[in-house]
Protein backbone atom coordinates (compact mmCIF):
# COMPACT_ATOMS: atom_id res chain seq x y z
CA UNK A 1 0.00 0.00 0.00
CA UNK A 2 1.43 3.38 -1.01
CA UNK A 3 1.67 6.31 1.40
CA UNK A 4 -1.27 7.95 -0.39
CA UNK A 5 -3.33 4.78 -0.01
CA UNK A 6 -2.40 4.59 3.67
CA UNK A 7 -3.44 8.20 4.21
CA UNK A 8 -6.78 7.63 2.47
CA UNK A 9 -7.34 4.44 4.45
CA UNK A 10 -6.73 6.21 7.76
CA UNK A 11 -9.01 9.05 6.77
CA UNK A 12 -11.68 6.51 5.84
CA UNK A 13 -11.29 4.74 9.18
CA UNK A 14 -11.68 8.03 11.03
CA UNK A 15 -14.85 8.84 9.11
CA UNK A 16 -16.30 5.39 9.76
CA UNK A 17 -15.50 5.54 13.47
CA UNK A 18 -16.84 9.08 13.83
CA UNK A 19 -20.00 8.23 11.93
CA UNK A 20 -20.70 5.34 14.29
CA UNK A 21 -20.06 7.38 17.42
CA UNK A 22 -21.89 10.52 16.32
CA UNK A 23 -24.89 8.38 15.40
CA UNK A 24 -24.90 6.76 18.83
CA UNK A 25 -24.39 9.83 21.03
CA UNK A 26 -24.76 13.63 20.87
CA UNK A 27 -21.90 15.59 19.36
CA UNK A 28 -20.74 17.01 22.68
CA UNK A 29 -20.58 13.54 24.25
CA UNK A 30 -18.12 12.18 21.67
CA UNK A 31 -14.40 12.84 22.14
CA UNK A 32 -11.66 12.90 19.55
CA UNK A 33 -9.67 10.49 21.71
CA UNK A 34 -12.30 7.76 21.44
CA UNK A 35 -12.77 8.42 17.72
CA UNK A 36 -9.06 7.87 17.10
CA UNK A 37 -9.03 4.81 19.35
CA UNK A 38 -12.01 3.26 17.59
CA UNK A 39 -10.42 3.98 14.21
CA UNK A 40 -7.12 2.48 15.35
CA UNK A 41 -5.08 5.48 14.24
CA UNK A 42 -2.95 8.14 15.89
CA UNK A 43 -4.87 10.94 17.60
CA UNK A 44 -3.02 13.61 15.61
CA UNK A 45 -4.45 12.36 12.32
CA UNK A 46 -7.78 13.99 13.14
CA UNK A 47 -6.11 17.40 13.01
CA UNK A 48 -4.17 16.37 9.89
CA UNK A 49 -7.26 15.35 7.92
CA UNK A 50 -10.07 17.42 9.45
CA UNK A 51 -8.47 20.13 11.65
CA UNK A 52 -10.64 19.24 14.67
CA UNK A 53 -13.80 17.47 15.85
CA UNK A 54 -15.98 20.12 14.24
CA UNK A 55 -14.37 19.53 10.86
CA UNK A 56 -14.69 15.76 11.24
CA UNK A 57 -18.36 16.06 12.16
CA UNK A 58 -19.05 18.21 9.10
CA UNK A 59 -17.21 15.68 6.91
CA UNK A 60 -19.41 12.88 8.28
CA UNK A 61 -22.58 14.88 7.63
CA UNK A 62 -21.44 15.75 4.10
CA UNK A 63 -20.81 12.07 3.42
CA UNK A 64 -24.33 11.17 4.55
CA UNK A 65 -25.70 13.96 2.40
CA UNK A 66 -23.75 12.77 -0.63
CA UNK A 67 -25.11 9.24 -0.21
CA UNK A 68 -28.66 10.54 0.02
CA UNK A 69 -28.15 12.76 -3.03
CA UNK A 70 -26.86 9.74 -4.98
CA UNK A 71 -30.07 7.89 -4.15
CA UNK A 72 -32.11 10.82 -5.41
CA UNK A 73 -30.04 11.17 -8.60
CA UNK A 74 -30.50 7.56 -9.73
CA UNK A 75 -32.72 7.26 -12.86
CA UNK A 76 -36.40 6.61 -12.21
CA UNK A 77 -38.14 3.73 -13.97
CA UNK A 78 -41.82 4.61 -13.43
CA UNK A 79 -43.99 5.08 -16.52
CA UNK A 80 -46.06 7.95 -15.16
CA UNK A 81 -45.30 11.04 -13.10
CA UNK A 82 -47.28 9.48 -10.25
CA UNK A 83 -45.14 6.33 -10.37
CA UNK A 84 -41.94 8.34 -10.50
CA UNK A 85 -42.98 10.48 -7.55
CA UNK A 86 -43.65 7.46 -5.37
CA UNK A 87 -40.46 5.77 -6.56
CA UNK A 88 -38.38 8.83 -5.65
CA UNK A 89 -40.03 9.18 -2.25
CA UNK A 90 -39.68 5.46 -1.64
CA UNK A 91 -35.94 5.53 -2.31
CA UNK A 92 -35.53 8.47 0.03
CA UNK A 93 -37.52 6.77 2.78
CA UNK A 94 -35.70 3.45 2.45
CA UNK A 95 -32.27 5.07 2.57
CA UNK A 96 -33.12 7.02 5.71
CA UNK A 97 -34.72 3.96 7.32
CA UNK A 98 -31.54 1.97 6.66
CA UNK A 99 -29.35 4.81 7.97
CA UNK A 100 -31.63 5.97 10.75
CA UNK A 101 -28.96 6.82 13.30
CA UNK A 102 -27.03 8.98 10.85
CA UNK A 103 -30.16 10.82 9.73
CA UNK A 104 -31.18 11.48 13.32
CA UNK A 105 -27.69 12.77 14.09
CA UNK A 106 -27.89 15.09 11.10
CA UNK A 107 -31.33 16.46 12.00
CA UNK A 108 -30.89 16.65 15.77
CA UNK A 109 -27.15 16.75 16.20
CA UNK A 110 -25.16 19.02 18.47
CA UNK A 111 -24.29 21.58 15.78
CA UNK A 112 -27.82 22.82 15.16
CA UNK A 113 -26.81 26.48 15.57
CA UNK A 114 -23.46 26.23 13.78
CA UNK A 115 -23.67 28.45 10.64
CA UNK A 116 -21.63 26.13 8.43
CA UNK A 117 -23.62 23.08 9.47
CA UNK A 118 -26.95 24.87 9.08
CA UNK A 119 -25.98 26.06 5.61
CA UNK A 120 -24.94 22.54 4.58
CA UNK A 121 -28.15 21.02 5.96
CA UNK A 122 -30.43 23.61 4.38
CA UNK A 123 -28.70 23.18 1.02
CA UNK A 124 -29.10 19.41 1.19
CA UNK A 125 -32.77 19.65 2.15
CA UNK A 126 -33.53 22.13 -0.62
CA UNK A 127 -31.69 20.09 -3.26
CA UNK A 128 -34.15 17.25 -2.66
CA UNK A 129 -37.12 19.59 -3.02
CA UNK A 130 -35.59 21.17 -6.13
CA UNK A 131 -35.32 17.74 -7.76
CA UNK A 132 -39.03 17.20 -7.23
CA UNK A 133 -39.90 20.62 -8.66
CA UNK A 134 -37.70 19.89 -11.67
CA UNK A 135 -39.66 16.68 -12.30
CA UNK A 136 -42.87 18.70 -12.09
CA UNK A 137 -41.55 21.04 -14.78
CA UNK A 138 -41.25 24.09 -12.53
CA UNK A 139 -38.66 26.61 -13.81
CA UNK A 140 -35.57 27.25 -11.70
CA UNK A 141 -35.60 29.26 -9.53
CA UNK A 142 -39.20 28.58 -8.49
CA UNK A 143 -41.58 31.39 -7.51
CA UNK A 144 -41.30 32.50 -3.90
CA UNK A 145 -44.73 31.09 -3.04
CA UNK A 146 -43.80 27.60 -4.19
CA UNK A 147 -40.35 27.72 -2.67
CA UNK A 148 -41.77 28.62 0.75
CA UNK A 149 -44.45 25.95 0.50
CA UNK A 150 -41.91 23.29 -0.48
CA UNK A 151 -39.64 24.21 2.41
CA UNK A 152 -42.59 23.58 4.73
CA UNK A 153 -43.26 20.23 3.04
CA UNK A 154 -39.62 19.19 3.45
CA UNK A 155 -39.85 19.94 7.18
CA UNK A 156 -43.03 17.82 7.36
CA UNK A 157 -41.33 14.96 5.51
CA UNK A 158 -38.31 15.09 7.82
CA UNK A 159 -40.55 14.95 10.88
CA UNK A 160 -42.42 11.98 9.41
CA UNK A 161 -39.11 10.15 9.10
CA UNK A 162 -37.98 11.09 12.61
CA UNK A 163 -41.28 9.87 14.03
CA UNK A 164 -40.94 6.61 12.08
CA UNK A 165 -37.41 6.13 13.45
CA UNK A 166 -38.42 6.87 17.03
CA UNK A 167 -41.73 4.99 17.19
CA UNK A 168 -41.77 2.50 14.28
CA UNK A 169 -45.50 3.25 14.22
CA UNK A 170 -45.82 3.69 10.45
CA UNK A 171 -45.24 1.16 7.71
CA UNK A 172 -42.81 2.50 5.11
CA UNK A 173 -45.41 2.23 2.36
CA UNK A 174 -47.92 4.23 4.40
CA UNK A 175 -45.26 6.83 5.13
CA UNK A 176 -44.61 7.25 1.40
CA UNK A 177 -48.35 7.69 0.82
CA UNK A 178 -48.59 10.35 3.54
CA UNK A 179 -45.60 12.21 2.11
CA UNK A 180 -46.98 11.99 -1.44
CA UNK A 181 -50.43 13.18 -0.36
CA UNK A 182 -48.96 16.12 1.55
CA UNK A 183 -46.75 17.02 -1.40
CA UNK A 184 -49.67 17.01 -3.82
CA UNK A 185 -51.77 19.11 -1.44
CA UNK A 186 -48.91 21.57 -1.01
CA UNK A 187 -48.37 22.00 -4.74
CA UNK A 188 -52.11 22.13 -5.50
CA UNK A 189 -52.73 24.84 -2.90
CA UNK A 190 -49.80 26.87 -4.20
CA UNK A 191 -50.96 26.61 -7.83
CA UNK A 192 -54.42 27.74 -6.78
CA UNK A 193 -52.89 30.73 -5.00
CA UNK A 194 -50.52 31.50 -7.88
CA UNK A 195 -51.99 30.09 -11.14
CA UNK A 196 -49.20 31.69 -13.19
CA UNK A 197 -46.72 29.05 -12.00
CA UNK A 198 -45.70 26.88 -14.97
CA UNK A 199 -45.71 23.09 -14.55
CA UNK A 200 -45.80 20.00 -16.77
CA UNK A 201 -49.09 19.34 -18.52
CA UNK A 202 -49.69 16.13 -16.54
CA UNK A 203 -49.13 17.72 -13.12
CA UNK A 204 -52.76 18.73 -12.68
CA UNK A 205 -53.83 15.13 -13.29
CA UNK A 206 -51.29 14.01 -10.69
CA UNK A 207 -52.53 16.52 -8.13
CA UNK A 208 -56.09 15.24 -8.35
CA UNK A 209 -55.27 11.53 -8.46
CA UNK A 210 -56.28 9.25 -5.62
CA UNK A 211 -53.90 6.98 -3.68
CA UNK A 212 -52.98 3.73 -5.38
CA UNK A 213 -55.24 0.74 -4.67
CA UNK A 214 -54.41 -0.79 -1.32
CA UNK A 215 -52.26 2.15 -0.27
CA UNK A 216 -54.72 3.76 2.12
CA UNK A 217 -54.14 3.35 5.83
CA UNK A 218 -56.37 0.69 7.42
CA UNK A 219 -59.48 1.91 9.20
CA UNK A 220 -59.29 2.05 12.98
CA UNK A 221 -61.36 -0.50 14.84
Range of the domain at 174: 59-207
Domain of 149: which CATH number? Answer: 1.10.357.10
pLDDT of residue 71: 79
What is the CATH classification number for the domain harbouring 16?
Answer: 1.10.10.60
**What does the alpha-carbon distance between residue 28 and residue 25 come to, in Å, rounded to a whole number?**
8
Question: Tens digit of pLDDT for each residue in 83-132?
Answer: 999 999 998 899 889 888 878 877 776 666 788 888 888 887 888 888 89
Considering the domain architecture, whether residues 32 and 131 belong to the same structural domain is answered as no
Give the pLDDT confidence of 162-184 residue by residue, as tens digits.
Answer: 999 999 998 999 999 999 999 99
Of the two residues 42 and 1, the one the predictor is more confident about is 42
Instruction: Compute the distance between CA of residue 134 and CA of residue 126 in angstroms, rounded to an integer.
Output: 12
Task: Kindly state the average pLDDT of the residues 153-161.
Answer: 94
Looking at the fold, whether 19 and 82 belong to one and the same domain comes out as no
**Region 183-191 average pLDDT:** 95
Same-domain check for residues 38 and 1:
yes
Residues 82 and 171 in one domain: yes
User: What's the pLDDT at 111?
Assistant: 65
| Residue 218 pLDDT class (50, 70, 90 cuts) | very low
45 and 98 housed in the same domain: no
Q: DSSP secondary structure string, 132-169?
A: HHHHTT--SSPPHHHHHHHHHHHHHHHHHHHHHHHH--
Do 193 and 100 lie in a common domain? yes
Kindly report which listed range (18-27, 120-129, 210-219) carries the lowest average pLDDT score. Answer: 210-219
Predicted model pTM: 0.79
| Residue 200 falls inside a structural domain | yes
Q: Quick check: 211 pLDDT over 70? A: no
In order, the DSSP letters of 22-66 are HHHS-GGG--HHHHHHHHTS-THHHHHHHSSHHHHHHHHHHHHHH
pLDDT value at position 109? 65
The DSSP symbol for 111 reads T
Q: Residue 193: its pLDDT value, please?
A: 94
Q: Are residues 30 and 66 in the same domain?
A: no
Predicted confidence at residue 36, as pLDDT, reads: 96
Amino acid sequence: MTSIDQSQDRRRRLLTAARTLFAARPYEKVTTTEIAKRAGVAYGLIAHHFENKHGLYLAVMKEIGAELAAEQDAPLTGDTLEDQLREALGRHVRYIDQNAAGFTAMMRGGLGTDPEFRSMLETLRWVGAARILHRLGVPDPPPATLRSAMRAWVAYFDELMLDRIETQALDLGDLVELAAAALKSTVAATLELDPEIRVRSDVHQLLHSRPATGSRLPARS
